[in-house]
Amino acid sequence: MLKIVGLVLLVLLVVVGVVLALATMKPATFIIERSTTIQAPADKVFALLSDFRQWGQWSPWEQKDPAMQRTFGATSAGLGATYAWVGNKDVGQGSMAITAAAPATRVVIALDFVKPFEAKNQVVFDLSPEGAQTRVNWAMSGDNNFIGKLMQVFMSMDAMVGRDFESGLAKLKAAAER
């Protein structure tokens, strides 16, 4: 009986060791990106991205918790605009601040999560006019701490968050093309 318990503990120790080793091999930073082309001028798309009060039209997280508590800062659009939320397990808790806004070209946001885990990320929306259309690239990047690396052993953050980006871009497209 002691042999079996010892063998089980040894196997468990090896599995834990392998998982920890795999986690240490994950990159120290991450980036998630998705793009789409919208049949609307860049200034119209920019208006939807650079005003937090417009995010309800297209943000994929807005529909995940209709009861989410939202707080807008004194400024909700353009450079210095802020937005905070507290929601269910699907949206968590956090805040955003627009740190750069180049009209019809780029919006940069400092994104701070509090729950379900703390993280500080940067979100960048780049807009490229292509005739009557606008190419939109949505990227999020940040540091990958050990817990993040450990989670990536079991799931793909790019696939998980990327689906939300794709949904958001489809809704942004629909809102801008109205």
Class of domain 2-177: alpha beta
Integer Cα distance of 108 and 147 in angstroms: 26
Cα 109 to Cα 49, 86, 118: the distances in Å are 10, 18, 16
Integer Cα distance of 22 and 1 in angstroms: 32
Residue spans of the domains in the chain: they are 2-177
101-146 residue pLDDT tens: 999 999 999 999 999 888 899 999 999 999 889 999 999 999 888 7
Provide the pLDDT for residue 5. 80
Contact 113, 16 (CB under 8 A): no
- What's the burial of 3, exposed, middle or buried (CB within 10 Å: 0-12/13-18/19+)? exposed
Provide the pLDDT for residue 33. 97
The DSSP letter of residue 66 is T
β-strand 106-115 against 119-130: which pairing, if any? antiparallel
Provide the pLDDT for residue 102. 96
Integer Cα distance of 43 and 176 in angstroms: 10
Residue with tokens 């120790």: 13
Provide the pLDDT for residue 56. 92
Structure tokens at 29: 């930073």
Contact 73, 82 (CB under 8 A): yes
Write out the chain's pLDDT in tens, 178 residues: 778 888 888 888 877 887 777 777 787 888 999 999 999 999 999 999 999 999 999 999 988 998 999 999 999 999 999 999 999 999 999 999 999 999 999 999 999 999 988 889 999 999 999 988 999 999 999 988 877 777 877 877 888 889 999 999 999 999 999 9
Provide the pLDDT for residue 167. 96
Cross-strand bridge partners of residue 106:
102, 126
Provide the pLDDT for residue 66. 86
